[in-house]
Amino acid sequence: MWEVGAICLVALLLLDEPKCKNGKLPPGSMGVPFIGETLQFFSPYPSHDIPPFIKNRIARYGPLFRTSLVGQKIVVSADNEINYSIFQQEDKSFQLWYTDSFAELIGREKNRKLLVDVDQTTRRHLQSWAEHGSVDFKQGASQVIFEFLARNLMSYDEKRDSKKVLDNCKTFMDGLISFPLNIPGTVFHASLQGRKKIVKVIEDILQDRRASKVPAHDFLDHLLEEMKNEDTLINDNVAINLIFALFFASHESTSQAVALLVNFVSDHPDVLAELTKEHETILRGRDNENTGITWEEYKSMTFTHMVINESVRIGSITPGLFRKVVQDVEINGKNLFLAGYTIPAGWTVLIIPSAVHFNPEKYDNPYTFNPWRWQGQELHKGSKSFMGFGCGVRLCVGAEFAKLQMATFLHYLVTKYRKKINENYNIGGEANL
Ligand code: HEM
């Protein structure tokens, strides 16, 4: 009996071994049928490092290897030349997993106007945390960013509308990389339900706005205006999905980035001192210390931007970037060791930014938090060595907003709450203000 079972298992494993019609697959293992190597992939690991799943396989197979995760055939790339060429081939051999019309609609030049709003929202929340005595920065930042986005996207107020979009956002995020098993009780099912509820709220707001004809001067107004054009690509469905996708792309990443930033700064007194110098110089240049941050002041925060980039590099906020392969890709890069492998159409490429961000050939002492390493470096574009906000054609459209939010937090923390943060912040995420 056992023998029959063993033969079946071997047969299944053999069946699962993938073939490549036009070339040689990168080395690696597809794990066990259906599950692949998903369980190993999700084993917990200390943050601020390359995940051990990736590290071990790079050691065994090199920086390009195949695997299978959540039912998908995957080629993992930890090679910066290959990553870079993948980012350059956007829309030819690889497709982004996000809605296409994003960048056009959000626009990259609106952040200047948003500064006043970001400034006021951040100040108000910091004040209320200070009155309360303590805050969990991840959750606190998440609320600030959610409130800001909800207001600017569709004039939604969680307290007033009490529809619990924020909770459902979290449920949706939990299921993003999970087995696509849509049965009650699974994370995936809960995630879909969460998405459904958020979509319903957005849909109701859209219908109400259209019926009332009263403008709210938010992003939804722009979408409704655009929909009146005859040749528009936007319909109700696209508009709802755009707003939903914006919540999802921005919320978790930015709140995590703010929390990490505060954590790193409070752990490095030399960084805090340099930041304080930069921000106190800004205060001294004002007629009235209590006026909000101006665009010129924001642009002068060079060291702050070095700190932000270093936090995003070392914090591995984006653990992986996915691209669907639409036509066979033969690797003929500079790295002869990798040349000759083919990534077949229909597979997915998983790019691992941390493998580049912790590469000692690119960064001296890569595990050390050292904002000064950015001195004289490009701070606002992606590169072969820095892809914290993406790289190539598809840079993060929210990067400027996220940086604006992070810089604003830092400004008020180091000028108004510095001493308390320094003394009382603990790594668990809770700060006494
Ligand atoms: C610290 C915070 C953030 C980080 C680390 C981050 C990171 C990234 C990365 C790495 C990508 C590229 C994804 C890829 O190539 O597959 C990306 C794309 C994107 N991000 Fe962000 N992001 C952040 C905040 C935001 C915010 C605040 C928004 C919106 C307001 C946003 C909206 C987007 C959108 C729409 C895309 C897709 C761009 C496109 O299709 O061309 N992100 N982000």
- Distance in angstroms (rounded) separating the CA atoms of residues 182 and 392: 35
Instruction: With both helix axes pointing from N to C terminus, report the angle between 165-174 and 236-267 in degrees, rounded to the nearest 10.
Output: 80
Distances (CA, A) of 330 to 6, 97, 260, 337, 342: 36, 22, 38, 13, 4
pLDDT value at position 194?
A: 84
To test ligand 1's pocket by mutation, which of 118, 253, 258, 310 has the most ligand atoms within 8 angstroms of CB?
253
CA angle, 123 then 257 then 429, to 5°: 75
How far does the centroid of ligand 1 lie from the alpha carbon of residue 349, in Å? 18
Instruction: With both helix axes pointing from N to C terminus, report the angle between 111-132 and 137-154 in degrees, rounded to the nearest 10.
Output: 140
94 Rama sector, left if φ>0, alpha if ψ -120 to 50, beta otherwise: beta
Q: What is the pLDDT along the chain (433 residues), one digit of tens a residue?
A: 444 344 344 444 444 567 777 778 999 988 887 778 887 887 666 667 888 899 999 999 988 999 998 778 899 998 888 888 887 776 565 544 333 334 443 444 466 677 888 899 899 988 888 887 777 888 888 888 888 888 888 988 877 766 677 777 777 777 766 666 778 888 788 888 888 888 898 999 999 999 998 888 888 988 898 888 887 777 898 888 888 888 877 878 888 899 899 889 989 999 999 999 999 999 999 988 888 999 999 999 999 999 999 999 999 888 888 888 888 888 876 665 667 888 888 888 999 999 999 999 999 999 999 999 999 988 888 888 899 998 877 778 788 889 999 999 999 999 988 645 544 544 334 555 5
How far does the centroid of ligand 1 lie from the alpha carbon of residue 398, in Å? 5
How far does the centroid of ligand 1 lie from the alpha carbon of residue 185, in Å? 30
Number of Cβ within 10 Å of residue 64's Cβ equals 23
Q: Which amino acid is at 132?
A: H
Bind-site residues for heme: 396
Of 121, 99, 8, 23, the residue nearest 327 (C-alpha): 23
Sign of CA dihedral 155, 157, 163, 166: positive
Number of Cβ within 10 Å of residue 243's Cβ equals 26
Question: For ligand 1, atom 43, which residue shows the shortest CA distance?
Answer: 396
| Torsion angle (degrees, nearest 10) of CA 22, 23, 26, 29 | 60
pLDDT value at position 38?
A: 80
Question: Do 254 and 405 contact (CB within 8 A), yes or no?
Answer: yes
Atom in ligand 1 nearest the alpha carbon of residue 402: 27
Residue 94 pairs in a beta bridge with 90, 325
pLDDT value at position 290?
A: 83
pLDDT value at position 17?
A: 63
Bind-site residues: 396
pLDDT tens by residue, 281-316:
999 999 888 889 999 999 999 999 999 999 999 998
Ligand 1 neighbours, Cβ below 6 Å, are: 96, 98, 102-103, 246, 249-250, 253-254, 257, 312, 317-318, 321, 388-390, 394, 396-398, 401-402
- Distance in angstroms (rounded) separating the CA atoms of residues 167 and 142: 11
- Distance in angstroms (rounded) separating the CA atoms of residues 92 and 89: 5
pLDDT value at position 420?
A: 55
- Distance in angstroms (rounded) separating the CA atoms of residues 49 and 315: 8
Structure tokens at 162: 């009490």
- Distance in angstroms (rounded) separating the CA atoms of residues 115 and 404: 7
pLDDT value at position 422?
A: 47
- Distance in angstroms (rounded) separating the CA atoms of residues 123 and 216: 24
DSSP H/E element including 350: strand 348-351
Question: For ligand 1, atom 38, which residue shows the shortest CA distance?
Answer: 396
- Distance in angstroms (rounded) separating the CA atoms of residues 93 and 2: 46
Question: Do 152 and 219 contact (CB within 8 A), yes or no?
Answer: yes
Question: Do 349 and 326 contact (CB within 8 A), yes or no?
Answer: no
